[in-house]
Amino acid sequence: MINLILFGPPGSGKGTQAAKLVAKYELVHISTGDLFRYEMSNDTPLGQQAKNYIAKGELVPDEVTIGMLRNKVNATPEARGYIFDGFPRNIAQSEALDVFLSEKGTAVSKLIMLDVSDDEIVARILNRGKTSGRTDDLDEGIIRNRIDVYKNETSPVFNYYAEQHKSVKIDGIGSIDDIFQRLCATIDAH
């Protein structure tokens, strides 16, 4: 199995690249953002909780995120592997993911970080906000808060997997195809 963590700040291109990787490697894409949006659009209790946190640019609590992730993985037992997008966001989630995958007889293969500057992230998200329908994509203050939250709370995850010799950083600037080629080269190098 190939189990990838696609890592980087909001707007770094994880979703775009994950779709291309799913097609090439026949993996299941698990985007916590998509899971949250599904729950929110269906106005479930978890969705209502998530909505309150996301509207402020804050992270959704671990237990909510992990529960959604477990359900998604358990619903796709035939998968050849997974791309985790937006998860894990902290060390506790990383440890929970490692335990969960170990129970399934597998492990994280690599964490690949898309390296993109803050100003580029802001520009990308503001541009995305023109069509995404997400009010949090239109407010530069919220966007910068999301970047700060990422740096403070999620960047230690890179170091956690680096200690296991699984973290790789690639340049997230360039054409979609150029970035995709960098990702494939990194994945195929295992």
Query: What residues act catalytically?
Result: 14, 89, 128, 134, 146
Cα angle value 174/26/133 (rounded, 5°):
55
**Nearest to residue 102, comparing CAs of 61, 73, 63, 68?**
73
8 A C-beta contact, residue 108 and residue 158: no
Q: 112 in the Ramachandran plot: left (φ > 0), alpha (ψ -120 to 50) or beta?
A: beta
Residue among 85, 76, 71 at smallest CA distance from 113 = 85
Q: CB burial class (10 A; 0-12, 13-18, 19+) of residue 59? A: buried
The total of other beta-carbon atoms located within 10 Å of residue 171's CB is 11
How deeply is 165 buried, as exposed, middle or buried, from its count of CB atoms within 10 A (0-12, 13-18, 19+)? exposed
